[in-house]
């Protein structure tokens, strides 16, 4: 739960990799100035992928694919400014795993895993085995959206500055703390403008959607087959609005509500994270063995509230050089609520924190903020701010947030303050926001499968119905998963996966209103 508003759409898809890190304690873009020509005719130079860059999260080069073959990376040129398609270009970093068979290849299946600001080039190999069934008939493809990773990545503050930034108190209690918080936000936003002025006006979701349609053509597909998760559902909806006749088989999972403004989205997320915390506590106390972090749901949440209150004035050791502050602990708890697989590490992290050791909660918070174990940050925070603030027209001030605090606290005693103050993230942004909310109306588009999870903390379940309605009559087919965590397909629920696979692989549209448990 970074202090950037894009938390509402942050996807935790690499759960296995994060879980391992917590318990253990491709050719890319740039902002090249080559002029555009007929960019649809460009040929991609696919090569074995290098290790992800620091801005993509770092780490090792992708492992060989099961059954042979390698992950391949390439760079697609796209206009810097889509209003000047023959002008300067930027590089969009792509990654693919070619279709394995058996079965006739359908085309490319393009993934966006969320954020906004997440690197698809580093995420797809980390979770690719989860989509092995789909690879039988598709080339699995993902990319760093513009402003992300190697695709003319937005740069704001240095690693050392970010260490300080994420140590700040993001829930200020008095005039002095509010002044510090606002000053830190202004400094972050000013650094983005200073270091990334050329790309900042061109990272809106509409720009990324146009990049995807160029990608479709360069990859040789008549239709765009698409799998969007979290913010990727907003991107998919915007694509469908701009190019309804180009929509192929598309799935939107962990669905953003496209009708909400930033305030409404933040308030909805406060309720969503509170629901997920309630479910975590209920699960812990329902087990046959004694719950180590509380005797009842209320006791679990009371103890967490006391921990956060104590950390506000007395942080404890975390991951060097940082300490576990109230903000970092809140962030880490929220990160663990993205997936039921992280509930056990959350339990262990709380136990340790009660004993004065903040390492696990700090590792979870670092994961949310894009900080690797070697102290380097990906650019997810910078890109997240740039994309959200370019998309969203609303700008809030301190007086408005203070007025809204009671409503946010009623939605969530633990997360309400954090999400309310996060609404100030774009107040001093250099680029004006585009709209009150995205337009996703897509009359004439092929069926789009919209998958909502009743226990989703980051994109609450109600958003699936709002997206389905906004896409328009005869477009959306809604499927409900009664489960926990952010998203449904990666829960490995057989009912969900069979429905999604059946649509993407065989074109079988599930019955509207299907419910999976």
Tokens of 10: 């942050």
Please tell me which residue in 108, 486, 490, 491 is annotated as part of the active site: 486
Tally of CB atoms within 10 A around 313 = 9
Question: Cα(169)–Cα(162) distance, rounded to whole angstroms?
Answer: 13
Residue 155: both structure tokens together: 């740069």
Residues 6+ apart with CB under 8 A from 301: 277, 278, 281, 294, 413, 414
Q: Where does residue 353 fall: left (phi above 0), alpha (psi -120 to 50 degrees), or beta otherwise? A: alpha
**How many Cα atoms sit within 13 Å of 483 on the Cβ side?**
26
Rounded to 5, what percent of the chain is helix, strand, coil? 45, 15, 40
DSSP at 512 = T
Q: What is the rounded distance in angstroms from the CA atom of residue 191 to the CA atom of residue 162? A: 11
Q: Check if 456 is active-site.
A: yes
Is the bond into 321 cis (omega within 30 degrees of 0)?
yes
CA gap 454, 447 in Å, rounded: 22
Catalytic position from the list 142, 230, 378, 425: 230
For residue 362, give the nearest of 330, 338, 314, 337 by alpha carbon: 330
Q: What is the dihedral of CA 17, 19, 24, 27, to 10 degrees?
A: 20
Q: Which of 115, 463, 444 is nearest to 268 (CA)?
A: 463
Catalytic residue of the set 139, 456, 490, 491: 456
Instruction: Identify whether 230 is a catalytic site residue.
Output: yes
Classify 21 in phi/psi space as left (phi over 0), alpha (psi -120 to 50) or beta. Answer: alpha
Distance CA 215, CA 142 (A): 10
CB 323 within 8 A of CB 317: yes
Q: Is 225 marked active-site?
A: no
Give the residue numbers annotated as catalytic, written as ranges.
Answer: 230, 456, 486
């Amino acid at each position: 739960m970074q202090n950037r508003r894009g938390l509402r759409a942050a996807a935790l898809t690499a759960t296995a990799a994060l879980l391992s890190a917590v318990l253990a304690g491709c050719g890319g873009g740039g902002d090249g100035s080559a002029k555009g020509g007929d960019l649809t005719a460009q040929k991609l130079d696919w090569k074995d992928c290098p290790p992800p860059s620091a801005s993509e999260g770092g780490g090792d080069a992708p492992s060989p694919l099961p059954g042979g073959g390698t992950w391949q990376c390439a760079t697609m040129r796209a206009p810097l400014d889509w209003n000047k398609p023959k002008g300067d270009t930027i590089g969009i970093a792509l990654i693919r795993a070619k279709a394995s068979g058996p079965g006739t290849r359908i085309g490319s299946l393009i993934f966006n895993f969320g954020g906004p600001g997440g690197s698809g080039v580093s995420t797809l190999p980390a979770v690719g085995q989860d989509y092995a069934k789909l690879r039988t008939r598709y080339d699995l493809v993902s990319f760093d959206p513009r402003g992300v990773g190697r695709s003319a990545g937005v740069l704001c503050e240095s690693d050392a500055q970010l260490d300080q930034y994420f140590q700040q108190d993001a829930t200020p209690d008095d005039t002095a703390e509010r002044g510090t918080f606002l000053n830190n936000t202004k400094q972050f936003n000013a650094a983005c403008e200073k270091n990334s002025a050329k790309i900042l006006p061109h990272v809106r979701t509409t720009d990324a959607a146009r990049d995807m349609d160029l990608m479709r053509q360069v990859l040789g597909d008549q239709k765009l087959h698409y799998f969007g998760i979290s913010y990727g559902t907003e991107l998919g909806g915007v694509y469908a609005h701009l190019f309804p006749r180009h929509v192929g088989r598309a799935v939107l999972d962990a669905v953003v509500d496209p009708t909400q403004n930033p305030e409404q989205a933040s308030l909805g997320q406060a309720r969503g994270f509170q629901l997920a915390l309630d479910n975590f506590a209920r699960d812990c106390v329902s087990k046959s063995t004694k719950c180590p972090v509380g005797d009842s749901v209320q006791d679990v949440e009371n103890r967490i509230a006391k921990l956060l209150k104590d950390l506000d004035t007395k942080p404890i050791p975390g991951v060097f050089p940082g300490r576990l502050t109230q903000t970092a602990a809140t962030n880490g708890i929220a990160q663990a609520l993205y997936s039921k697989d992280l509930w056990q590490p959350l339990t262990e992290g709380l136990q340790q924190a009660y004993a004065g050791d903040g390492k696990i909660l700090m590792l979870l918070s670092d994961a949310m903020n894009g900080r690797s174990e070697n102290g380097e940050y990906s650019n997810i925070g910078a890109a997240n701010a740039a994309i959200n603030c370019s998309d969203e027209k609303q700008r809030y001030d301190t007086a408005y947030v203070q007025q809204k605090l009671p409503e946010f606290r009623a939605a969530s005693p633990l997360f309400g303050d954090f999400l309310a103050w996060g609404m100030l993230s774009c107040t001093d942004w250099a680029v004006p926001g585009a709209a009150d909310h995205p337009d996703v109306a897509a009359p004439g588009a092929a069926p789009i499968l919209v998958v909502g999870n009743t226990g989703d903390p980051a994109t609450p379940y109600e958003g699936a119905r709002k997206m389905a309605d906004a896409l328009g009559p005869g477009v959306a087919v809604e499927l409900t998963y009664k489960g926990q965590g952010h998203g449904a397909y990666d829960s490995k629920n057989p009912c969900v996966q069979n429905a999604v696979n059946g649509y993407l692989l065989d074109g079988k549209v599930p019955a509207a209103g299907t419910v999976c448990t």
